[in-house]
C-alpha cells in the first residue's frame, strides 16, 4: 500500500529530457562505434566520455523550467550535491581509491590470487576459479580489477587442462560480479548504501541471502561440469603470504561491520607495512600508488556530482513524480514497487554500461518509490546493487566483458552463454520479490 505524503511536484514527463539526451549521446555513440562503424583499437562505448554526456544533459536540465532563474537552479544543484550521503560517498571513493592503489603496488592482489590458485586441486579448477574471483573481488572491491588479474590465469588453466576458454573466462566474470556485489569497499556498494541512507552491514545481510543461493547453484553446476572431465594441470604460481594477509584481514573487518573508513585505513597501513617488508614499496611508490588510486576515482566522483545536480533539477521539475505515476499505473503493490526499482536499475545499467553510474542515476527515484510503497531502505539498496550487477555482468559492451574479451582473445558474445552466476542471480532476485508480502 502506498504511503500518503504531502503534496508533491506536479508530474512532468518533459523534465526527463536530460536523461533522454544522455542516453542518445552516450548509448547512441557507443552502439554506432562499437557495432556499426568500429574504430581500430578503440572500444566504442568509451569514445563518448560519460562525463561529457552528463555535462550536456546538465545543460539541458538548466534550460528547462523558465519559472526559475539561473541562481535558483544553482541552489537546487548545490542542495543535491551537498546531501550528507553524497558527501560521505565522495569521501569513501577517495579512501577506496587509495586502498586499491597501494594494495596493487604492494603485490597484494596477485599474491592473494596465486595463493588461492596454489590451494585448488586440479579436478576442481573451474569452480575454484569462481571462488577465487569472488574472494579477490570482495577484498579489492572491483570486478574490473579482478577480471584483469584472473582472466590471463584462467586462459592458462584452460590451455593446461584442455578446458573451454569461454567457460573459464565466464566463470571468472561471474565470480568477480558476486564479490563486487557484496564487497564493502566496492563503489557500487558505497553508492547503493549512501544514497539510501543505510548501513553497509545491513545491505550486506540483505544481499547475502539473495546472492549466496545463486553462487552456490553456480558452484554446483561448475563442479558437475568439472567432474565430468579430466583433472587439470594447474601450473605453478608464486605468492608471498605477507602480501596476501592484509586482504583477508580487511575482508574480515568489513564483514564484522566495522566503519568503512576504519577498515580502509587499517588496510592501507597493513599494505604499507607488507610492501615495505617485502621490498615492493618505497616511500615514493607508496604515495604515488595511493595518488594513482584516488585519481582513478575522479571520473566516478565527477559523475556522482553531475548526476546529483541533474537529479535535483529533474525532481524539482516534476520528472520523478512522472516516473512514480507510471509505476503506480502498472505496479499497484509493494511487490510492484520492488519490480519497478529492479526494472529501473536494469534499464539504467543497459543505457550507461556502468553499474555505479546506473545506481547513482536510479537511486533518488528508487528512494521515492521505496517511501511510497513502504519498502525498507536496505532492501532498496540491495536491489540497486544486485540488479545493476546482473546487467553489468551480462551486457557485451560493458567494461567487464570487453576487458575479459580483450585479455582472452575471444568475443564477448562467446562468453555470454557461460555467465551462469548473473542469470541465477536474476532468478534469485525474482524469487525474493515474489516472497515479499
Tell me the HSE value of 374 on the side-chain side, using a 13 A CA sphere.
Answer: 9
With respect to residue 193, please indicate whether it lies within any of the assigned structural domains: yes
pLDDT tens-digit map of 247-267: 788 777 766 767 778 888 898
pLDDT for 46 beyond 90: no
Domain residue limits at 72: 13-85+299-396+409-434
243 close to 278: Cβ distance less than 8 angstroms:
yes
Is 6 contained in some domain? no
At 7 the pLDDT is: 46
- In whole angstroms, what is the distance from residue 311 CA to residue 408 CA? 39
Rank 24-33, 40-49, 151-160, 174-183 by mean pLDDT and report only the highest: 174-183
User: Is the predicted pLDDT of residue 344 greater than 80, yes or no?
Assistant: yes
Of the candidates 361, 308, 321, 309, the one whose C-alpha atom is nearest the C-alpha of residue 15 is 321
Which three cell numbers, joined as nine digits, stand for 152? 590471463
Contact present, 366 and 341 (Cβ < 8 Å): yes
Residue 327, pLDDT above cutoff 80: no
Task: From 238, 263, 295, give the residue that closes a domain.
Answer: 295
256 with 172, same domain?
Answer: yes
pLDDT band with cut points at 50, 70 and 90 for residue 231: low
Structural domain total, the chain: 2
Is residue 7 in a domain? no
| Residue 270 lies inside a defined structural domain of this protein | yes
In this structure, the answer to whether residues 324 and 334 fall within a common structural domain is yes
pLDDT score of 1 more than 70: no
Cα separations in angstroms, 257 against 151, 184, 260: 31, 9, 8
Q: What is the pTM of this model?
A: 0.72
Residue 93: C-alpha distances to residues 104, 106, 222, 238, 293 (Å): 16, 20, 34, 31, 10
Do 275 and 311 share a structural domain?
no
Residues 390, 262: one domain? Answer: no
CA distance 338 to 199: 20
- Asked whether residue 289 falls in the same domain as residue 303, the answer is no
Spatial distance between the Cα atoms of 268 and 290, rounded to a whole number of angstroms = 9
Same domain flag for 374 and 313: yes
pLDDT tens profile 174-218: 999 998 888 877 888 888 898 888 888 888 888 889 999 999 999
Q: At a CB cut-off of 8 Å and minimum separation 6, what does 109 contact? A: 103, 136, 140, 145, 149, 247
pLDDT tens digits along 126-137 = 898 898 888 888
Q: 40 phi and psi, to 5 degrees?
A: -65, 135
Query: Looking at the predicted structure, is the pLDDT value of residue 44 above 50?
Result: yes
> Which comes out higher in pLDDT, residue 56 or 364?
56
**What does the pLDDT read at residue 70?**
94
Both 121 and 266 in one domain: the answer is: yes
Higher-pLDDT residue of 143 and 276 is: 276
Q: Is residue 312 part of a domain?
A: yes
Identify whether the C-beta of residue 86 lies closer than 8 Å to the C-beta of residue 306: no
Q: Is 2 a member of any domain?
A: no
Residue 141: phi, psi to the nearest 5? 75, 20
Query: End of a domain among 237, 271, 295?
Result: 295
For the residues 341-367, what does the mean pLDDT come to?
A: 83
Residues 157 and 288 in one domain: yes
Shared-domain flag, residues 132 and 226: yes
Cα(125)–Cα(384) distance, integer angstroms: 32
Co-location of 204 and 160 in the same domain: yes
Task: From 295, 329, 364, give the residue that closes a domain.
Answer: 295
pLDDT for position 94: 85
Q: Decide: 177 and 393 in contact? Cβ < 8 Å.
A: yes
Give the number of C-alpha atoms closer than 13 A to the C-alpha of residue 354, restricted to the C-beta side. Answer: 20
- Is residue 403 a part of any domain in this protein? no
Model confidence at 422, pLDDT cuts 50, 70, 90, reads: very high
Shared domain check, 116 and 47: no
Q: Percent of the chain scored above 90 by pLDDT?
A: 27
pLDDT-based confidence at residue 160 (cuts at 50, 70, 90)? low
Mind spelling out the 3-state secondary structure of the chain? Answer: CCCCCCCCCCCCHHHHHHHHHHHHHHHHHHHHHHHHCCCCCCCHHHCCCHHHHHHHHHHHHHHCCCCCCHHHHHHHHHHHHCCHHHHHHHHHHHHHHHHHHHHHHCCHHHHHHHHHHHHCCHHHHHHHHHHHHHHHHHHHCCHHHHHHHHHHHHHHHHHHHCCCHHHHHHHHHHHHHHHHHHCCCCHHHHHHHHHHCCCHHHHHHHHHHHHHHHHHHHHHHHHHHHHCCCCCCCCCCCCCHHHHHHHHHHHHHHHCCCCHHHHHHHHHHHHHHHHHHHCCCCHHHHHHHHHHHHHCCHHHHHHHHHHHHHHHHHHHCCHHHHHHHHHHHHCCCHHHHHHHHHHHHHHHHHHHCCHHHHHHHHHHHHHHHHHHCCCCHHHHHHHHHHHHHHHHCCCCCCHHHHHHHHHHCCCHHHHHHHCHHHHHHHHHHHHHHHCCC
- In whole angstroms, what is the distance from residue 34 CA to residue 362 CA? 25
Residues 314 and 354 in one domain: yes
In a domain, 374, yes or no: yes
Amino acid at each position: 500500500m502506498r504511503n500518503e505524503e504531502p503534496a508533491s511536484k506536479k508530474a512532468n514527463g518533459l523534465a526527463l529530457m536530460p536523461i533522454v539526451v544522455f542516453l542518445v549521446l552516450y548509448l547512441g555513440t557507443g552502439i554506432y562505434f562499437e557495432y556499426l562503424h568500429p574504430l581500430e583499437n578503440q572500444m566504442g562505448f568509451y569514445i563518448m566520455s560519460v562525463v561529457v554526456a552528463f555535462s550536456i544533459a546538465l545543460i539541458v536540465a538548466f534550460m528547462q523550467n523558465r519559472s526559475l532563474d539561473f541562481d535558483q537552479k544553482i541552489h537546487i544543484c548545490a542542495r543535491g550535491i551537498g546531501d550528507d550521503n553524497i558527501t560521505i560517498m565522495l569521501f569513501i571513493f577517495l579512501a577506496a581509491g587509495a586502498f586499491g592503489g597501494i594494495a596493487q603496488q604492494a603485490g597484494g592482489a596477485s599474491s592473494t590470487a596465486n595463493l588461492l590458485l596454489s590451494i585448488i586441486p586440479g579436478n576442481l579448477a573451474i569452480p575454484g576459479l569462481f571462488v577465487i574471483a569472488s574472494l579477490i573481488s570482495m577484498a579489492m572491491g572491483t570486478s574490473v580489477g579482478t577480471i584483469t588479474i584472473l582472466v590471463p590465469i584462467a586462459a592458462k588453466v584452460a590451455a593446461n587442462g584442455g578446458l573451454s576458454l569461454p567457460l573459464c573466462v565466464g566463470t571468472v566474470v561471474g565470480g568477480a560480479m558476486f564479490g563486487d556485489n557484496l564487497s564493502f569497499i566496492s563503489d557500487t556498494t558505497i553508492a547503493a548504501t549512501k544514497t539510501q541512507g543505510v548501513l553497509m552491514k545491513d545491505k550486506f545481510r540483505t544481499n547475502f541471502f539473495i546472492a549466496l543461493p545463486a553462487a552456490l547453484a553456480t558452484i554446483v553446476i561448475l563442479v558437475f561440469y568439472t567432474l565430468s572431465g579430466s583433472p587439470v594441470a594447474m601450473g605453478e604460481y608464486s605468492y608471498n603470504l605477507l602480501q596476501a594477509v592484509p586482504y583477508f584481514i580487511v575482508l574480515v573487518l568489513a564483514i564484522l561491520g566495522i566503519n568503512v573508513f576504519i577498515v580502509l585505513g587499517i588496510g592501507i597501513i597493513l599494505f604499507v607495512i607488507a610492501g615495505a617488508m617485502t621490498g615492493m614499496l618505497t616511500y615514493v611508490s607508496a604515495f604515488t600508488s595511493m595518488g594513482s588510486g584516488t585519481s582513478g576515482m575522479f571520473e566516478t566522483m565527477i559523475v556522482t556530482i553531475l548526476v546529483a545536480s541533474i537529479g535535483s533539477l529533474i525532481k524539482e521539475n516534476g520528472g520523478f513524480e512522472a516516473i512514480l505515476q507510471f509505476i503506480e499505473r502498472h505496479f499497484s503493490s509493494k511487490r510492484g514497487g520492488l519490480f519497478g526499482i529492479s526494472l529501473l536499475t536494469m534499464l539504467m545499467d543497459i543505457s550507461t554500461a556502468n553499474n555505479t553510474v546506473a545506481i547513482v542515476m536510479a537511486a533518488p527515484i528508487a528512494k521515492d518509490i521505496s517511501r511510497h510503497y513502504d519498502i525498507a531502505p536496505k532492501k532498496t539498496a540491495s536491489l540497486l546493487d544486485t540488479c545493476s550487477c546482473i546487467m553489468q555482468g551480462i551486457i557485451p559492451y560493458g567494461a567487464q566483458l570487453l576487458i575479459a574479451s580483450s585479455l582472452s582473445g575471444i568475443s564477448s558474445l562467446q562468453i555470454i552463454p557461460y555467465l551462469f552466476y548473473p542469470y541465477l542471480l536474476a532468478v534469485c532476485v525474482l524469487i525474493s520479490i515474489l516472497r515479499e508480502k
